[in-house]
Amino acid sequence: MQKVYEDLKQGRDIRNNLIALKQMLKEEGALEEYLSMTEDDELIASFLQNEDAKIRKNAALVLGLLQSQESIEKIWEAYVSESQLFVRGAYLSALQKLNCRAYEKQLKARYQKLLAYEAGEEEQKHVQDEMKELRRLVIQFDGGISRHVFTGYHKPQDFILTTLKNYQDTTSVQIESGAARVIPMGVQVAGGDIREALNIRTFREMLFTLRCDKNLPPRPAVIAGELAKSNMIRILKELHEGEEPFYFRLEIKSTMPLDKKSVFAKKLAAEIEQRTRHFLVNSTENYEVELRFVQNRNGGFYPCMKLYTIPMKRFSYRKYTTASSMHPTLAALLAELASSWLAERARVLDAFCGTGTLLMERIYALPVRSAYAIDTFADAIQGARENAGIAHMNINFVNRSFFEFEHEQKFQEIWADMPVRGKKTKEEQDAFYQAFFVKVQELLQERGRVFLFCNENGIAKKYLRLNPCLHLKQEFCIREKDGAYFFIIEMRECAKQPEDAPQEALEDSDSGKEGTVQEAGKEQEGQQ
């Protein structure tokens, strides 16, 4: 940093040294180091008058990183007098890091002027960049983005409930209001009751459908024009209290390369702002609306809209999670798939509970007599206790290995989200499953059931064959991609095998298994 500073003082390679200094100042402790060298130095501010526009731009950005409040007048004067559009945003970026309340009136006036300005094709990008920075300042002045209140529960709406592939029917059968049909993404509902839908636990997202072309070409101007003509603005107005604008983000589901997707998204966001006359304003932070575009095999885009204004209370108990925590909609799906096998007022045990999501969704499905949850990870157990408290569920949490757990009474149900292999060898994972199937037989009562979720289908099937007391009643392929399966297993009294019984007999012991097998098919178009 010292060399860069000395070079700048001597006027050597100013542009590249400013760029280097800009990068250095983003590192921890760099600001303090620079200030210790310079004291009241005004060197950087002097570059705002340089004839090289890129030097002026980088000087402004450096002053922002330096939080140079004493330079604010010079930054403002440079902004007002700047003739190069691509530099203006840099001055505004610097002002965001300073106390610029004195210029609030002028900055807001400039923002309103640009809102009404019809930028030509050559200058559009730079005008949009300036507007973006001005918008951030206006939001700062106004104390943040004004939030809208969702009030649209009273009127039937068209929406999609996204679900896990091949399990759309599990959600569709719970729809009572409106016309529901299965689509690759999930369940499409026409004239549905939003409040009713929000009580369904097995869907992942609620997306509003838009009345426009469902196969939009990959051209930002065309897409934005179609959205502006659709019912999108009407939906936002009708379902909310509060004044415009609505802040939005884009989600592009596409196979296009990341760099091309980024360029496409920026152009599309700018076009949407312009075509909606800034009723919709792009923001990467504090947005309330997500406009999602799912590309199909033909290259066209299916448009839909997600509202973050809708209070989602289904899983409000889930305050604490870990990286390995099961998604609550998956847990709810497993509980729903198991519903016909659940016991009334059962004694239930979760062998590897984590933060408790699977067990709590089991309890939501049908009340239990008693519930025990076991895990070796102390932080997860503490988080699970907190979550259970929020859910008002009485669960006994035990910070111990499942294989060391003992209980006087047998359990009617044992639930297990089996730990992934991770750094274990195949042999170690095999031994883990072997021990698990032995242990459940110690803790499970006659006709009790094991509800097993895992991605080791082969190992699980192996130990079902080698434990003739355990009968596979039903299995579901949950995710074909990673081999995730859900098994429902029942324990029955079994005759003791003769000591000289051939191994083949043991391996064939599941030949009379009951139930159905559901398997996931190939990837479907538009799947989330």
pLDDT digits (tens, 9 = 90+) for 30-51: 888 888 887 666 899 999 999 9
Q: What is the DSSP code (8-state) at residue 48? A: G
> Is omega for the bond preceding 220 within 30 degrees of 0, making it cis?
no
Nearest partner of 436 among 338, 349, 343, judged by Cα = 349
Res 186: pLDDT? 97
Which pLDDT does position 40 carry in this prediction? 61
CA distance 262 to 240: 30
No. of helices (H) and no. of strands (E), the chain: 20, 18
Measured distance CA(58)–CA(21) in Å, rounded: 9
Six-digit token pair at 124? 């559009």
CB 412 within 8 A of CB 448: yes
CA-CA-CA-CA torsion sign (411, 417, 423, 429): positive
Could you give all domains of the chain from N- to C-terminal order, each with its CATH number? 2-141 (1.25.10), 150-307 (3.30.2130.30), 328-518 (3.40.50.150)
Q: For residue 222, give both structure tokens.
A: 């065309």
511, 514, 509: which is closest to 468 by C-alpha?
A: 509
**pLDDT at 39 (0 to 100):** 65
How many residues are there in the chain?
528
Task: Report residue 341: phi and psi, to 5°.
Answer: -105, 0
Angle CA(216)–CA(217)–CA(219) in degrees, nearest 5? 115
Mean pLDDT for each 10-residue chunk of the chain (528 residues)?
Answer: 88 92 89 80 89 94 91 94 93 93 92 82 85 86 81 94 96 95 96 96 96 94 96 96 91 93 91 91 87 94 96 95 94 98 96 97 97 96 97 97 96 97 92 97 96 96 95 96 95 63 38 40 35
pTM of the model: 0.76
Q: Provide the pLDDT for residue 41.
A: 67
Smallest CA-to-CA distance from 15 within 56, 46, 49, 43 is with 56
Three-state DSSP class for residue 361: helix
pLDDT in the model for residue 511: 35
Q: What is the pLDDT of residue 278?
A: 86
Helix (H) / strand (E) containing 224? helix 220-229
d(CA 166, CA 14) in angstroms, rounded, equals 61
Instruction: Please answer whether residues 388 and 318 qualify as being in contact, where contact means their C-beta atoms are separated by less than 8 angstroms.
Output: no
Query: Which residue shows structure tokens 């107005």?
Result: 237
Cα–Cα distance for residue pair 44/41, rounded to 1 Å: 8
Q: Give the largest CA-CA distance in the chain.
A: 96
